[in-house]
Structure 1
Amino acid sequence: MNLRDAVADDLPAIHAINQANVPAVGDITFAELEWYFAKAAALRVAEIDGLVAGFLLALQPGLDYSSLNYAWFSARYTDFCYIDRVAVGEQWRRRGVARALYADIEAYARAMSAPLLACEVNLRPRNDVSLAFHERQGFIEVGQQDTDGGHKTVVMLLRDLRDDAPE
């Protein structure tokens, strides 16, 4: 597995993986993905056998971004690395792709001196696989909120990087 920054040629594969993972991740247009590509603190891909197997998109604080979840964290924390979305292609699941992407973004956040990793996971519709994954990664619940006009409920999660700095 090779982890690297996404390039423009990766966007169709990233978009296809994103859309195949809805509702675990939010539905986006290709134009929205291009906005993320231009604005993201990190848009990283996991490549296996020359193919994009998964991706992780992280944002820094202070963006003009209309996401209710990003706004929730922005209203409560001044410095964080927000994991907006992570998704893995179905044929690549259970191979450590998400775990590798999370280790990668943790290293990035530490290098940028971001004290917190922030993200959210669906409670409704419930995403038990992601909830268990984030618990294993050391994330803790800091809140909940309804989104999508009350059709979704998400749990807000943080991992404090100041408490577990590598030796």
Structure 2
Amino acid sequence: MDMSLDKAEAAMVAKELKQILLDAVPLSCNLPRATLPNYDNIPGNLMLSSLGLKLGDRVVLDDTKSGTLRFCGTTEFASGQWVGIELDEPEGKNDGSVGGIRYFICSAKQGIFAPVSKISKAVEQTPASVPSTPKTPRLDLSRVTNKIKKEKKDKDREKSE
């Protein structure tokens, strides 16, 4: 059996399969059509909080560029949710504005926009060995307390005599 199909045959077979599947579903079926979720209507802060992020957090873009998260939301230049990042180094594409619309403020070439899916929270670097604070020697107050108690007893005796 020859399994190779050219593009025209593959398209025809796909169309026939689609029709077979459509015919198999009863016309009275009220199943909603499958749709991709539309994230355009979700507020940026809600999108960020679902990822454990907030504006001002340190983020990494594509595991290569790091910076500070300055914007999250919809834009005029593309559909979907976008983040604006103020990069640590001048390796960006803008100053926080695109097409004359300002989304955030940063220096020239330190701003970049990316889809939300391209960022992750930066892992804070902690020193390998954190110097501990020296412990203060503990004072032995037992002698002092005993002396105070003894003096009090002596005073009480003097008063009673």
Q: Give the TM-score normalised by structure 2.
A: 0.21
- The structure that is helix-richer by fraction is 1
Which fold has the larger relative contact order, with Cα–Cα distance below 8 Å and residues 6 or more apart in sequence?
1
Q: Kindly name which structure, 1 or 2, has the bigger radius of gyration based on alpha carbons.
A: 2
